[in-house]
Amino acid sequence: MSLHETFGQPLLTFPDAEKSPLSIRAKALVFVDPRSRQLRNDLEQLAPRALPVLIRGETGSGKELLARHIHRASDRTGLFVSVNCGAISPTYADAELFGYAPGAHNSSASSRAGWFGSANGGTLYLDEIGDLPLAIQVKLLAALETHEVTRVGAHQPSPVDVRLVAATSIDLAQAVSAGKFHERLYHYLSEGRLDLPALRERPGDILSLAEYFLGIYSQRLNLPVPFISDSAQRVLERHSWPGNTRELENVIHFALLVSTGEEIQPEHLNLPDTLSQIERFIKGATAQELTALKQLL
C-alpha cells in the first residue's frame, strides 16, 4: 500500500491488489473533497492508538484501504490479516478464527494458529463483521477482552496481542436491535469509529480518482493518456455511483478501451446522461413539444 501526493492531495492506494490472495475491491482513495479531508484527519488521529476500529461504508467504497492504512500507521510489527466474515464456514468458524491443537482436526498431528493467531502482534481485519454467527461473536469479544484464545482441542488458552479493525456496510445498531448482533461487541467496536462516505457524497474526489485510474490503465495497457472532455466530466460528476470507487474504476477502464482520438466523450463512459438526452430532445423538438417541456420543468 502507498500514500503519496497527487492533484495536490494525498492518494491512498494498494497497487499490488492483484497479487493479494484476498480481494481488494477498491484500489484507491483520494482526499480532495472536504468530507474526505476530514476522514483523513480522523484516520490519522485514530491510527496510532490501540483502540479497536469500526469502519462503516458501502461496498466498493474503500474500507479495506482504510484498514490497511490504520495498520501501517499504527507501527504494529505483526501482520495485517484480512478476513471476509461471509466466507467463514459456520461449521469450522472456531478453527478458522482461533485455530486448532494437534489431533483436533481430522486426527491431524499438525496445529493451526487460525486468523487470530496469525494476526498476533498485528491487525485482524474482519470485513462485514455482521455476517459472523452470534456464537462466534461472543467468543470473539471474550478473546479481545482477555487477550487470550483457546484453540479447538486445546486445554489451555494462548496469549494474543491483536488489534481489531472491523468493517460493515449495514447499520449494526439496527442489527443489535433486531437481536442479530451482539450488543457488547458493538459497543466494544464503537470506541473507534470511521464513517467512509459513499463516492456520491464526496463529489470532489470523483475527477481526481478518474484521472488516477486513467493514468494507471493507460500505463498498464501501453496506451496514450487521453483527456476527459468537459462534457464527460459533467457526466461523471452527476452520476450517483452506486458501485462507488470500484464502479468508477470499471467505467474509466471501459472508456479508455473504446475511446478514439485524444478525448474521452460521454458516449465512451457507458453511463446514463440525462442532460445530454434533454439537450438532444430540445434540438429536434417542435415548438409544441418545447412548450410542454417548459410546463413540466
Tens digit of each residue's pLDDT (9 = 90 or more) over 102-111: 655 555 545 5
User: What is the rounded CA–CA span in Å between residue 35 and residue 185?
Assistant: 28
Question: In the chain, what is the straight-line distance between the N-terminal and C-terminal CA atoms, in Å?
Answer: 48
268 and 131, same structural domain?
Answer: no
- What tens digit of pLDDT does each residue of 44-58 get? 999 998 899 999 999
* Number of separate domains in the chain: 2
Q: What is the CATH number of the domain that holds 153?
A: 3.40.50.300
State pTM to two decimals.
Answer: 0.81
Residues 6+ apart with CB under 8 A from 138: 182, 185
Contact 58, 248 (CB under 8 A): no
Domain that holds residue 271: 201-296
Looking at residue 239, its pLDDT comes to 95
Which candidate, 142, 124, 138, places its Cα nearest to that of 68?
124
- What tens digit of pLDDT does each residue of 57-89 get? 999 899 999 999 999 999 899 999 999 998 888
- What tens digit of pLDDT does each residue of 105-156 get? 555 545 577 888 889 999 999 999 999 999 899 999 999 999 988 777 677 8
Helices 230-238 and 244-258: crossing angle in degrees, nearest 10, is 150
Which candidate, 79, 147, 166, places its Cα nearest to that of 115?
79
3-class DSSP assignment, residue 107? coil
Q: What is the CATH number of the domain that holds 291?
A: 1.10.8.60
